Amino acid sequence: FCLLQQCLGTHEVSCDLYMVASSTEPQPQAKGEKTPISDTSYVGIDAILEQMRRKAMKQGFEFNVMVVGQSGLGKSTLMNTLFKSKVSRKSVQPNVEERIPKTVEIKSVSHDVEEKGVRMKLTVIDTPGFGDQINNENCWQPIMKFINDQYETYLQEEININRKKRIPDTRVHCCIYFIPPTGHCLRPLDVEFMRHLSKVVNIVPVIAKADTLTLEERDSFKKTIREELRANGIDVYPQKEFDEDAEDRMINDKIREMIPFAVVGSDQEYQVNGKRILGRKTKWGTIEVENIAHCEFAYLRDLLIRTHMQNIKDITCSIHYETYRVRRLNESNILFTSNPPDHPAVQPKANGQPEEQPATPQPNGVAAQHEALSHEM
């Protein structure tokens, strides 16, 4: 009886499986009829983009840009034009009569900029005194030290045991270098500065006050500068070695062909053909800042803000800062290996057995080998 029941049960299961298999076979479909998409096929992976967007909108963004060039090249005006607000240091202190400092100084001003719900902490770092002395030898060193100091500050925050949930980012993401519109060639100071600083920061060279050059002079000057940059091994942003794929290479090649950007800055508005435009008014007409037929300011703005801002920050973090971090940690390890910490003092116990004295705890909780990370230039 049990054997018969098992056989019947097996037969029933086989019939059930046959019925399920028959019911899941595709039914014949009329010609031209679309196959309906089942809602159960949607997983929702694409929702991660919206999650990232909401998180980024809450946290906001940081962008630190440095402007370098001698006095009178329109650095403050260009920064105000880029962000269409008074963000430069001179705009914050308009009534202070400023004299040319005897040495290069580093001064920064931070602003909270918001557009369409997107918040960004913008820091503009100015370098008054650069290139304004009779002897400008090694005047790039204070700027190099400042950039490395920001890397060091970030590194020290990273190696802390109890570090902050979000480390404030004061690293210089981009350096806009202003070239005087001489129309001839780069000065030795220009070559020396970019040769040293291009290894630690993203440099974007611009020809300041390009409206003082004719179109032929401008094109010839740009070509000469590109040749000198190649001859001196200066790799300005966007660096060819950091192109991620063929599409990036194609886009960045077009940008590299326009470097340096010939720009004109102005925060004054004028009425031209019934439209309000930013420009510089002369006896011969109005130079429109955002008109690509007049200057290349629009290309510079797109590069820094609209198309490559995140890439500039990524290269700062993954290339320049990472290079600094590896070098500093290697220096620390070499110093720690060559000068190991003393062994704890050994004191005899009452029973004659040696007793180790506890080592002095570090005030910040960081291991002793990290003491070598103090920055020296």
Domain of 77, CATH number, reads: 3.40.50.300
pLDDT, greater one: 181 or 285: 181
The per-residue pLDDT for 86 is 84
The SS3 assignment for 304 reads helix
Asked if residue 219 is part of any domain, the answer here is yes
Write out the residue range of the structural domain in which residue 249 sits.
Answer: 53-87+101-334
* Residue 46: pLDDT over 60: yes
The per-residue pLDDT for 23 is 45
Q: How confident is the model at residue 40 (pLDDT cuts 50, 70, 90)?
A: confident
Cα gap 240→233, rounded to integer Å = 12
Token pair recorded at residue 368: 């002793």
* Residue 2: pLDDT over 80: no
Cα gap 360→347, rounded to integer Å = 16
Q: In what order do the strands lie in the sheet with 269-272?
A: 269-272, 275-282, 285-288
Asked if residue 148 is part of any domain, the answer here is yes
Token pair recorded at residue 62: 């940081």
Neighbours of 101 (CB within 10 A): 15
Asked if residue 23 is part of any domain, the answer here is no
The total of structural domains in the chain comes to 1
CA distances to 36, 67, 132 from 73, in Å: 65, 11, 12
User: Between vectors from CA 47 to CA 41 and to CA 51, what angle results, nearest 5°?
Assistant: 160
Asked if residue 291 is part of any domain, the answer here is yes
Asked if residue 193 is part of any domain, the answer here is yes
The average confidence (pLDDT) of the chain is: 82
Asked if residue 354 is part of any domain, the answer here is no
Region 146-154: what's the mean pLDDT?
97
Region 276-288: what's the mean pLDDT?
89
Q: How confident is the model at residue 135 (pLDDT cuts 50, 70, 90)?
A: confident
Asked if residue 248 is part of any domain, the answer here is yes
